[in-house]
């Protein structure tokens, strides 16, 4: 149903709600609170001055707004509470002025100073009747919590949502029906209402997710693939051609791929490896074996510069086997693209490496047998499937340098076979990680100067592009000014951030790679991909703002050679958490600790391009529910009871169609 059927939602607000991914009534009902305020009104005579309290009050004069500086204001007014006149102050809430009319009944949240008779408010609430629990929602531009709560309450009155949990499981676990759960999650009267409703809704979301995973696994296990000949000398010949020895984990990956590619079933494998663990060379073996069988391969990378890096390194390895390698990116001229299209279609190219340009309509293969997707979480399912579908039944290999705890990986990537690569190649020195406080910045600058004098290059990372008056954080623009001053404008520097166009980013990275730029000041856009062997130092400002897994990914940009490398974390806060990075260079251990401390948000970064986006469930806190949903959905599929369930019958048809 369209949103406008809900009382209070007009065309303008429907547009604003769409920015929150709310497009219809069902989306609105499933836009769950992320926390709750427990409303406990206390008489002013009973409150102390150390804690935050809620008191009822009445506005008794007109509020005044003072603008202190840009993006910072103060709202002052007098209010009466239990015959006590209070001087109320609230910061950065100038927009409340129009609602604070004379004699208005309000609830103040904040701290009381009896001596000054002042109340510093952190929030002001309106129209609170006898509600004890107030839902709090994530908000978009121009949407207030009170408005969202009001329109959701209107929608809940006529809620009639589809229940995705099979009836026998609702009975088995004594779950609430979904309509009741929806009503209670948005309008709970007591804590137990929240617990019962959220358990039921989390289970449904995770059951639905695990059903898809388990069904895909079942499909993949049965999917017939290309049956290749067993080239018994392939592994030995490939390894003999390399100027280095593969690690134990890389050898396991080679064995796994050999078994997959010589079986009659389609390969659907994820190489999950730590930064710098050498996943690419394992994928190169898959390309080599695929070539021996007479098939073409495609490798898709998320950026042009990473695609070019793969092109150079793989061409160097594969040339000795007479494997013809091509490069296809968006920046190529029309004539160059056309030439590559022709060579691919007539089989003159054995391996094509490129960006999303590989999935454009003009790309046709003579005999595509293998698709490799690097940093697979950067692509949506649709993009990956478009490339895969350019062959008849090509085998698929995904690469990811986002280390996550093994138990979670086996669950959320349950539709894939997984090979973990943890051991680092020989000759790589452990990166030394050091935490420094802001007042110790001279130590960091001296170390930077030492590395520059040795002819090395440096990454500097900040969480912001520009300064923000409300946040005491360093920005890339601010850092550039300060570093130019520190090094007397004698060092070539550049700024890199997400707002730059892709061709601008590529030019800057190319100059850094070629050694023209000595210090690259960036946001986290450098997290994945580029190997600059001469970069030996990473400095991360406001390190407390990042998850451990993200910092580990950033740290992995250095230490790409036999040179000793360093990572300096500049922070005055949260240093106990950051010490995990001083202790270990093991991405899997760090991801375990990060998951314990921060949950799923940081681990999966962009939430896997929509694949990992849960509305109410959380992988860390709800992992036991996930495991039960995994077992229950597997049994549901195996018993084939899903065929009698209209929702899952339709879902299976969609999955079969996509696959």
**Which domains does the chain show, CATH number per domain?**
3-179 (2.40.50.140), 234-263+278-400 (3.40.50.300), 432-584 (3.40.50.300)
Phi/psi of residue 205, nearest 5 degrees: -65, -40
Confidence of residue 57 (pLDDT cuts 50, 70, 90): very high
Per DSSP, what are the bridge partners of residue 397?
Answer: 269, 372
Burial of 382 (0-12, 13-18, 19+ CB in 10 A): exposed
Say how far apart CA 250 and CA 258 lie, in whole Å: 12
For residue 189, is pLDDT > 70? yes
Tokens of 279: 């996943």
- Measure the CA dihedral 420/260/216/592, to 10°: 0
The predicted structure's pLDDT at residue 230: 83
Yes or no: say if 264 and 225 are a contact pair by the CB < 8 Å rule.
yes
How, if at all, do strands 296-300 and 351-354 pair? Answer: parallel
Confirm if 354 and 301 have CB atoms less than 8 A apart. yes
Query: What contacts 44, CB < 8 A, 6 or more positions away?
Result: 55, 81, 82, 84, 86, 112
Q: Which of 482, 512, 471 is nearest to 494 (CA)?
A: 512
422: burial class by Cβ within 10 Å (0-12, 13-18, 19+)?
Answer: middle
* DSSP helix/strand/coil, 469: coil
Nearest to 410 by CA among 648, 147, 619: 619
Q: What is the 3-state secondary structure (H, E, C) of 18-47?
A: HCCCCCEHHHHHCCCCCEEEECCECCHHHC
Predicted confidence at residue 433, as pLDDT, reads 96
Retrieve residue 59's tokens. 């506005």
Euclidean distance between the first and the last CA atom of the chain, given in angstroms as a whole number: 30
The 10s digit of each residue's pLDDT in 312-353 is 999 999 999 999 999 998 888 999 999 999 999 999 999 999
4-23 in b/e burial notation, b at 16+ Cβ within 10 A? eebeebeeebbebbeebebe
Lowest mean pLDDT among 220-229, 348-357, 383-392: 383-392
* pLDDT band for position 287 (cuts 50, 70, 90): very high
Residue 611 predicted with pLDDT over 50: no
Work out the pLDDT band at 386, boundaries 50, 70, 90: low
Q: What average pLDDT does the segment 398-411 reach?
A: 75
- Which pLDDT band holds residue 170 (cuts at 50, 70, 90)? very high
pLDDT, mean of residues 159-171: 92
Give the range among 71-80, 380-389, 400-409 with minimum mean pLDDT: 380-389
Average pLDDT, the chain: 86
Query: Which two tokens mark 423?
Result: 């051991």
Q: What pTM was estimated for this model as a whole?
A: 0.67
559: left (phi over 0), alpha (psi -120 to 50) or beta: left
Q: What is the C-alpha separation between 561 and 564, in angstroms, rounded?
A: 8
Give 382-387's long-range contacts (Cβ < 8 A, gap of 24+). Answer: 383/300, 383/356, 383/359, 384/300, 385/658, 385/659, 386/359, 387/298, 387/300, 387/358, 387/359
pLDDT of residue 469: 43
Distance CA 358, CA 352 (A): 8
Mean pLDDT in residue range 142-156 = 90
The C-alpha torsion from 377 through 380 and 382 to 386, rounded to 10°, is -50
**pLDDT value for 156:** 93
Encode pLDDT of 85-110 as tens digits: 999 999 999 989 998 999 999 999 99
Overall average pLDDT of the 591-617 stretch: 60
Q: Phi and psi for 144 in degrees, rounded to 5?
A: -100, 155
Q: Residue 529's pLDDT is what?
A: 56
Residue 606 pLDDT level (bands cut at 50, 70, 90): very low
pLDDT digits (tens, 9 = 90+) for 414-456: 778 889 888 877 767 889 999 999 999 999 999 999 999 999 9
- Please write the tens of the pLDDT for every residue from 473-508: 678 888 889 999 999 999 999 998 877 887 788 788
- Of 421, 410, 416, which is closest to residue 396 (Cα–Cα)? 416
Residue 148: count of CB within 10 angstroms of its CB: 24
Cβ-defined contacts of 379-388 (< 8 Å, 24+): 379/300, 379/302, 379/609, 380/609, 380/610, 380/611, 381/609, 381/611, 381/658, 383/300, 383/356, 383/359, 384/300, 385/658, 385/659, 386/359, 387/298, 387/300, 387/358, 387/359
Residue 358 has pLDDT above 80, yes or no: yes
Phi, psi dihedrals of residue 470, rounded to the nearest 5°: -85, -15
CA dihedral 498, 502, 507, 510 (to 10 degrees): 80
Give the pLDDT of residue 380. 44
- Buried b vs exposed e over 333-352: b needs ≥16 C-beta within 10 Å? eeeebeebbebbeeeebbbb
The pLDDT assigned to 613 comes to 65
Exposure string of 95-132, with b = 16+ CB inside 10 Å and e = fewer, is: ebeeebeeeeebbbbbbbeeeeeebbbeebbeebeeee
Instruction: Give 544 or 568, the one with higher predicted confidence.
Output: 568
State how beta strands 457-461 and 535-541 pair: parallel
Span 622-649, mean pLDDT?
Answer: 90
pLDDT at position 294, please? 94
* 212 token code pair: 């898809």
| Between residues 39 and 196, the one the model is more confident about | 196
Enclosing H/E stretch for 61 = none
Structural contact between residues 397 and 272, judged by C-beta atoms closer than 8 angstroms: no
Instruction: Provide the pLDDT for residue 131.
Output: 61
Residue 612 pLDDT exceeds 70: no
Burial of 171: CB neighbours in 10 Å, binned 0-12, 13-18, 19+:
exposed
Q: Is the pLDDT of residue 564 over 60?
A: yes
Confidence band (pLDDT; 50, 70, 90) for 537?
A: very high
| pLDDT over threshold 60, residue 231 | yes
Comparing 550 with 483, which gets the higher pLDDT?
A: 483
């Amino acid at each position: 149903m369209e949103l406008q059927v809900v009382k209070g939602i007009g065309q303008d607000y429907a547009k604003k709600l769409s920015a929150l991914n709310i497009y219809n009534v069902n989306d609105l009902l499933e836009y769950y609170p992320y926390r709750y305020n427990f409303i406990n009104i206390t008489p002013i005579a009973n409150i102390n001055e150390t804690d935050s309290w809620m008191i009822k009050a009445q506005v008794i004069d007109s509020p005044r707004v003072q603008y202190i500086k840009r993006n910072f204001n103060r709202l002052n007014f007098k209010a009466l509470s239990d015959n006590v006149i209070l001087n109320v102050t609230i910061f950065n809430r100038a927009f409340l002025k129009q609602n604070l009319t004379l004699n208005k009944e309000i609830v103040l949240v904040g701290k009381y100073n009896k001596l000054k008779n002042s109340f510093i408010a952190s929030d002001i609430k309106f129209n609170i009747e006898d509600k004890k629990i107030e839902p709090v929602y994530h908000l978009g531009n121009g949407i207030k919590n009170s408005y969202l709560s009001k329109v959701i309450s209107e929608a809940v009155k006529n809620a009639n949502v589809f229940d995705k949990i099979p009836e026998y499981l609702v009975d088995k676990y004594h779950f609430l029906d979904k309509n009741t759960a929806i009503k209670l999650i948005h309008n709970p009267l007591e804590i137990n209402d929240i617990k019962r409703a959220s358990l039921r809704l989390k289970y449904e979301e995770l059951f639905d997710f695990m059903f898809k995973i388990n069904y895909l696994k079942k499909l993949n296990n049965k999917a017939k693939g290309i049956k290749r000949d067993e080239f018994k000398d392939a592994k030995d010949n490939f390894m003999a051609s390399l100027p280095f020895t593969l690690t134990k984990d890389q050898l396991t990956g080679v064995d796994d791929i050999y078994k997959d590619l010589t079986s009659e079933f389609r390969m659907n494998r994820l190489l999950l490896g730590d930064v710098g663990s050498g996943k690419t060379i394992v994928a190169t073996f898959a390309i080599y074996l695929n070539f021996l069988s007479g098939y073409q391969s495609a490798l898709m990378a998320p950026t042009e510069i990473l695609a070019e890096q793969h092109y150079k390194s793989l061409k160097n390895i594969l040339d000795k086997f007479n494997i013809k390698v091509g490069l296809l990116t968006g920046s190529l001229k029309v004539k160059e693209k056309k030439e590559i299209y022709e060579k691919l279609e007539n089989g003159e190219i054995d391996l094509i490496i490129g960006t999303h340009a590989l999935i454009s309509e003009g790309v046709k293969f003579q005999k595509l047998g293998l698709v490799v997707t690097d940093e697979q979480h950067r692509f949506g399912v649709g993009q990956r499937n478009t490339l895969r579908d350019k062959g008849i039944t090509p085998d698929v290999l995904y690469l990811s340098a986002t280390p996550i705890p093994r138990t979670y990986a086996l669950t959320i990537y349950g539709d894939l076979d997984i090979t973990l690569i943890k051991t680092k190649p020989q000759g790589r020195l452990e990166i030394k990680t050091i935490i420094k406080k802001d007042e110790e910045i001279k130590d960091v600058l001296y170390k930077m100067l030492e590395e520059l004098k040795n002819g090395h290059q440096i990454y500097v990372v900040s969480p912001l592009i520009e300064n923000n008056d409300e946040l005491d954080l360093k920005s890339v623009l601010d850092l550039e000014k300060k570093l130019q001053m520190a090094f007397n404008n004698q060092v070539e520097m550049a700024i890199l951030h997400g707002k730059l166009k892709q061709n601008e980013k590529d030019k800057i990275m190319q100059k850094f790679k070629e050694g023209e730029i000595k210090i690259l000041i960036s946001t986290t856009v450098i997290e994945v991909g580029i190997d600059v062997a001469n970069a030996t130092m990473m400095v991360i400002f406001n390190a407390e703002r990042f998850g451990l897994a993200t910092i580990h990914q950033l740290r992995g940009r250095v230490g790409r050679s036999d040179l000793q490398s360093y990572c300096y974390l500049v922070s005055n806060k949260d240093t106990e958490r950051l010490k995990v990075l001083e202790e270990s260079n093991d991405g899997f251990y760090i991801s375990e600790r990060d998951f314990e401390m921060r949950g799923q948000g940081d681990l999966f970064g962009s939430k896997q391009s929509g694949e990992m986006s849960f509305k109410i469930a959380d992988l860390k806190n709800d992992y036991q529910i996930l495991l039960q949903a995994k077992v229950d959905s597997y049994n549901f599929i195996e018993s084939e009871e899903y065929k009698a369930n209209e929702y899952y019958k339709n879902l299976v048809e969609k999955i079969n169609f996509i696959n």
